[in-house]
Amino acid sequence: MPLTSPRLWIVATPLGNPGDLSPRAREILENADLILAEDTRRAAQLCRLCGIQGRRFLSFYDHNEAERQEEVLRLLREGRDLALISDAGTPLLADPGYRLVRACRKEGLPVSPVPGPSAPAAALSAAGIAPLPHTFLGFLPRDTAGREALLTAYAQVPGSLIFFERKDRLKESLATAARILGPRDLAVCRELTKTHEEFILNRLENSMDLPDELLGEITVIIGPPEVTERTPREEVESLLRAELARGGKARDVARRVQSAVRGWNGKELYALIPSARAISQ
pLDDT tens readout for residues 54-97: 789 999 988 888 889 999 999 999 999 999 999 999 999 988 89
Q: How many domains does the chain divide into?
A: 3
239 part of a folded domain: yes
Predicted local confidence at residue 172, as pLDDT: 94
**106 and 14 inside one domain:** yes
3 part of a folded domain: no
Domain that holds residue 242: 233-279
Predicted local confidence at residue 250, as pLDDT: 86
228 part of a folded domain: no
**Which pTM does this prediction carry?**
0.79
**126 and 104 inside one domain:** no
**89 and 148 inside one domain:** no
Sheet with 134-139: strands ordered across: 134-139, 160-164, 218-222, 185-190, 198-203
* Confidence tier at 1 by pLDDT (50, 70, 90): very low
Which residue, of 117, 146, 181, is where some domain finishes? Answer: 117
**21 and 86 inside one domain:** yes
Question: What CATH number has the domain bearing residue 134?
Answer: 3.30.950.10
**254 and 267 inside one domain:** yes
71 part of a folded domain: yes
**189 and 240 inside one domain:** no
Which residue, of 117, 152, 180, is where some domain finishes? Answer: 117
**273 and 185 inside one domain:** no
155-178 pLDDT, tens per residue? Answer: 889 999 999 999 999 999 999 999
Q: Which of 260, 257, 281, 277 is nearest to 268 (CA)?
A: 257
**151 and 64 inside one domain:** no
**264 and 187 inside one domain:** no
**251 and 172 inside one domain:** no
Q: What is the mean pLDDT of residues 239-268?
A: 85
Question: What CATH number has the domain bearing residue 75?
Answer: 3.40.1010.10
**150 and 245 inside one domain:** no
39 part of a folded domain: yes
98 part of a folded domain: yes
162 part of a folded domain: yes
**13 and 112 inside one domain:** yes
Q: What is the mean pLDDT of residues 214-232?
A: 87
Give Rg (Cα) of the chain.
Answer: 23
